[in-house]
């Protein structure tokens, strides 16, 4: 079974639009888990425009599934992860003002920095994942950083899916085969939704987990949160 980790950044964005605690992030997370999600993902950014650093500490107390913290590994982020000790940390190369993740790591250029950070996390028993594109050289170099997994950046697949889904998924099929050969676990995320998720999951050998936030929360506005979490889970079976 491929695991579904729900990114709850958008719920925090809605809360922050008015201040206060509506919608209540902790209550939403408890419900998402109760409805069948396998994990919760957060991505605290330096400006705290959605998930705040306080949210991360508060969520650690209530998340009963796998907790995944995404972010750029500056010192504040590293300290946060080492204190909270989530089950997984996903390293992304976002600039501080990035609207959303829009590129994977250059694991050759940033090899030494990634290796040192990953070593710290793994020493504390935290599984590590690197956000990456489908470039074979980058995947091969990822192994040398010591990471446990890679997270494939799936925006290109989502954009090309309607025009030619076979062509859209092919680079990811190839990347998954290479990652499996190299002993890397495989996660995936970005713009996966109810229309394109099942095909991706069926084609990509070795896929362990998907992280979905924007599409899932948007679907919940029309279909209800409980129904939507279960629908996404069905697409992964």
Residue 175: beta bridge partners? none
Mapping DSSP to helix (H, G, I), strand (E, B) and coil, where does residue 31 land?
helix
* Sequential pLDDT tens for the chain (237 residues): 899 999 999 999 999 999 999 999 999 999 999 999 999 999 999 899 999 999 999 999 999 999 999 999 999 999 999 999 999 999 999 765 555 556 799 999 999 999 999 999 999 999 999 999 999 999 999 999 999 999 999 999 999 999 999 999 999 999 999 999 999 999 999 999 999 999 999 999 999 999 999 999 999 999 999 999 999 999 998
Shortest CA distance to 184 belongs to which of 162, 203, 221, 209? Answer: 209
* Superfamily covering domain 3-235: Aldolase class I (3.20.20.70)
Domain boundaries, the chain: 3-235
Contact 131, 91 (CB under 8 A): yes
Q: Which residues are catalytic?
A: 43, 70, 190
pTM of model > 0.85 = yes
State which H helix or E strand residue 42 sits in.
strand 39-42
- The residue whose two tokens read 């201040």 is 19
CB atoms < 10 A from the CB of 63, how many? 20
CA–CA separation, 188 and 200 (whole Å): 10
- Please report the pLDDT score of residue 94 as a whole number: 76
CA–CA separation, 133 and 18 (whole Å): 36
Shortest CA distance to 8 belongs to which of 19, 20, 23? Answer: 23
- Please report the pLDDT score of residue 103 as a whole number: 78
């Amino acid at each position: 079974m491929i695991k579904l980790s729900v990114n709850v950044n958008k719920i925090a964005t809605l809360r922050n639009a008015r201040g206060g605690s509506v919608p209540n992030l902790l209550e939403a997370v408890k419900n998402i888990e109760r409805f069948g999600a396998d994990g919760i993902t957060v991505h605290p950014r330096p400006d705290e425009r959605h998930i705040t650093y306080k949210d991360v500490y508060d969520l650690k107390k209530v998340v009963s599934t796998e907790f995944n913290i995404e972010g750029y590994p500056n010192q504040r982020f590293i300290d946060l992860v080492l204190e909270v000790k989530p089950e997984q940390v996903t390293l992304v190369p976002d600039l501080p003002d990035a609207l959303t993740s829009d590129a994977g790591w250059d694991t050759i250029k940033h090899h030494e920095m990634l290796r040192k950070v990953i070593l710290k996390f793994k020493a504390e028993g935290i599984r590590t994942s690197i956000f990456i594109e489908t470039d074979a050289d980058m995947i091969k170099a990822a192994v040398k950083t010591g990471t446990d997994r890679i997270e494939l950046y799936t925006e290109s697949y989502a954009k090309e899916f309607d025009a030619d889904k076979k062509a859209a998924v092919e680079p990811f099929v190839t990347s998954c085969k290479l990652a499996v050969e190299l002993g890397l676990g495989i996660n995936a995320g970005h713009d996966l939704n109810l229309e394109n998720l099942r095909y991706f999951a069926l084609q990509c050998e070795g896929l362990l987990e998907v992280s979905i936030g924007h599409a899932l929360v948007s679907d919940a506005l029309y279909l209800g949160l409980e129904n939507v979490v279960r629908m996404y889970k069905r697409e992964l079976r």
